[in-house]
Amino acid sequence: MTTDSPSAGPSTTLGRKALKAHIQYDFVQANQEYSENGTADAQQLTSGPRSRTAIITCVDSRSSPEHFYQLKENDAIVIRNGGGRTNDPGAIRSLAIIQATSELKEIKVVHHANCGSLFYTDKWTKDMVTENDVRAPAGPYRDGCGCWVQAISFLPFCRKDDEASDDEIVKNSVKGDVEYLRNHPLIKPSVLVTGWFYNLATGIVEPVEC
């Protein structure tokens, strides 16, 4: 993983031109319709993923492997965190469990264009939480938030002087995250680790040479 100076100039909209207005979504009704329209064969849901593939990607709602890979139930395992970082302890924990309980042939590391991890730094995030502004959207955090946030690494993408664009920064983060997994003791040497860049504008998931 790169440890160069982090991205500069945090943005309150994290790369988006503007935050969309809040909408009411009826999750209960959506689930009811889903259950009535049929699901995958229950007998097919008792073993590991059919593709023997795990995908690590971002929590960003615009980056959805279930949609851009047209996945169905039990097609693949999807692990998500902010930025789709492989050095997140939760990602390693999940991958270790998956390998111990089922067969895994490939790990796809998928980062996406215009990711929020381009627009904040670790220090900025910790300062924002510690400040705990009561005027913030949805109000303040609970007491003690400052101590908790200092123990977390938020893993923003890192900028280098020779990188020409945000997309190049994201692609370089893919390379670093792939290398991290390829050398990690908890990832079996037999597992193929590949890197990918999701272009939000075209919907294409492009391979990144790693």
The annotation places the binding site for Zn(2+) at 58, 60, 112, 115
Question: Who's near 10: CB < 8 A, 6+ residues apart?
Answer: 119, 120, 121, 124
The residue written with tokens 């009561």 in the block is 134
- Which of 120, 119, 36, 106 has its CA nearest to residue 75? 106
Strands (E), the chain: 53-58, 77-81, 106-112, 192-198, 205-208
Contact predicate 205/69, CB 8 Å: yes
Contact predicate 49/79, CB 8 Å: no
What is the maximum alpha-carbon separation in the chain?
Answer: 54
